[in-house]
Amino acid sequence: MTTSVDQVMVSVTEGSLPRVLNDLREAGLVVDTVLEALGVVTGTVEVRAIPTLLSVSGVLDVERQWRVQLPPY
Amino acid sequence: MTEPAEVETTGRFLVLLQEDAIEEGVAELGAIAGFDPNSGDLDPETVQVFPELGVAVVSADPNLLAELNGAAERPGPIQIVEPERVVHVFQDDTAAPAEEVEAAADESVLTWGLQAVGADVSTATGKGIKIAVLDTGFEKNHPDFAGRAITTKSFITGEDVQDGHGHGTHCIGTSAGPRKPATAPGYGVAHEAEIFAGKVLSNAGSGSDGGILAGIDWAVSNGCAVISMSLGADVPAGTPYSQIYEIVAQRSMAKGTLIIAAAGNASSRPARIAPVGHPARCPSIISVAAIDVNRAIAFFSSGTADKIGQIDVAGPGVDVYSSFKLPEKYARLRGTSMATPHAAGVAVLIAEKTGARGYELWARLALSSLRLPLPSTDVGGGLVQAP
Nearest CA in chain B to A41: B210
Chain A CB contacts of B216 under 8 Å are 35, 38
Q: So what's the pLDDT on residue B234?
A: 87
Does A5 reach chain B within 8 Å, measured CB to CB? no
| The amino acid at B36 | D
- What are the residues whose beta carbons fall under 8 Å from the beta carbon of B125, sequence distance 6 or more? B190, B191, B192, B193, B349, B352
- What are the residues whose beta carbons fall under 8 Å from the beta carbon of B271, sequence distance 6 or more? none
Buried b vs exposed e over B250-278: b needs ≥16 C-beta within 10 Å? bbbbeebbbbbbbbbbbbeeeeebbbbbb
Under an 8 A CB cutoff, do B48 and A65 touch? Answer: no
User: What span, in angstroms and rounded, lies between the C-alpha atoms of B175 and B112?
Assistant: 14
Find the domain containing B285 and state its range: 98-379
Q: Residue B136: inside a domain, yes or no? A: yes
CATH assignment at residue B200: 3.40.50.200
- The number of domains in chain B is 2
Q: Does an H or E element contain B168, and which?
A: helix B167-176
Q: So what's the pLDDT on residue B26?
A: 80
Q: In this prediction, what percent of chain B has a pLDDT beyond 90?
A: 68
Q: Residue B366: inside a domain, yes or no? A: yes
| The amino acid at B82 | E
Does A19 reach chain B within 8 Å, measured CB to CB? no
pLDDT tens digits along B204-230:
999 988 999 999 999 999 999 999 999
Same domain membership, residue B361 and residue B309 = yes
Could you tell me the end-to-end alpha-carbon distance of chain A, in angstroms, rounded to an integer?
41
Q: Residue B3: inside a domain, yes or no? A: no
Q: Residue B276: inside a domain, yes or no? A: yes
Under an 8 A CB cutoff, do B214 and A61 touch? Answer: no
Q: Does an H or E element contain B71, and which?
A: helix B62-73
For B185, list phi and psi in degrees, rounded to 5.
-90, 160
Q: Residue B317: inside a domain, yes or no? A: yes
pTM score > 0.90 for this model?
no
Lowest mean pLDDT among B34-38, B140-144, B283-287: B34-38
Could you tell me the end-to-end alpha-carbon distance of chain B, in angstroms, rounded to an integer?
42
Q: So what's the pLDDT on residue A5?
A: 84
Nearest CA in chain A to B249: A38
Q: Average pLDDT, stretch B176-189?
A: 97
Same domain membership, residue B104 and residue B67 = no
Does A44 reach chain B within 8 Å, measured CB to CB? no
Under an 8 A CB cutoff, do A60 and B247 touch? Answer: yes
Residues of B noted as catalytic: 135, 167, 337
Of the three residues B85, B110, B137, the one that is the final residue of a domain is B85
Of the three residues B41, B56, B85, the one that is the final residue of a domain is B85
Q: Among B48, B51, B251, whose Cβ lies nearest the Cβ of A38?
A: B251
User: What span, in angstroms and rounded, lies between the C-alpha atoms of B74 and B77?
Assistant: 9
Residue B205, CA distances (Å) to B173, B227, B378 in order: 18, 18, 27
Q: So what's the pLDDT on residue B1?
A: 32
Q: So what's the pLDDT on residue A71?
A: 60
The domain ranges of chain A are 5-64
Residue B183, CA distances (Å) to B110, B167, B330 in order: 11, 20, 10
Per-residue pLDDT for B7 more than 60?
no
Lowest mean pLDDT among B53-62, B177-186, B288-297, B322-331: B53-62
Same domain membership, residue B81 and residue B49 = yes
Does A2 reach chain B within 8 Å, measured CB to CB? no
Q: Residue B91: inside a domain, yes or no? A: no
Q: Average pLDDT, stretch B22-36?
A: 78
Q: Residue B301: inside a domain, yes or no? A: yes
pLDDT tens digits along A2-47:
568 889 999 999 999 989 999 999 999 999 999 999 999 999 999 8
In this prediction, does ipTM exceed 0.90?
Answer: no
Nearest CA in chain B to A48: B44
Nearest CA in chain B to A67: B208
A64 to chain B, closest Cα gap in Å: 9
pLDDT tens digits along B335-373:
999 999 999 999 999 999 999 999 999 999 999 999 999
Same domain membership, residue B177 and residue B54 = no
Of the three residues B85, B114, B129, the one that is the final residue of a domain is B85
Q: So what's the pLDDT on residue B19?
A: 63
Question: Chain-centre distance of CA B344, in angstroms?
Answer: 12
Same domain membership, residue B314 and residue B209 = yes
| The amino acid at A64 | R
Same domain membership, residue B106 and residue B70 = no
pLDDT tens digits along B62-107:
667 777 877 777 777 776 676 554 333 354 555 555 444 455 689 9
Same domain membership, residue B158 and residue B243 = yes
DSSP class of residue A18 equals: T
CATH of domain A5-64: 3.30.70.80
The residue of A6, A29, A36, A38 whose CB has the most chain B CBs within 10 angstroms, and thus the best one to mutate to test that interface, is A38
CATH assignment at residue B38: 3.30.70
Same domain membership, residue B262 and residue B131 = yes
Please work out, in degrees rounded to the nearest 5, the angle formed at the alpha carbon of residue B69 by the alpha carbons of B67 and B70.
Answer: 60
Stronger pLDDT, A48 or A3, i.e. the higher one: A48
At residue B30 the predicted structure's pLDDT band, cuts being 50, 70 and 90, is: confident
Please work out, in degrees rounded to the nearest 5, the angle formed at the alpha carbon of residue B203 by the alpha carbons of B202 and B208.
Answer: 15
Report chain B's mean pLDDT, rounded to a whole number.
Answer: 87
Q: Residue B90: inside a domain, yes or no? A: no
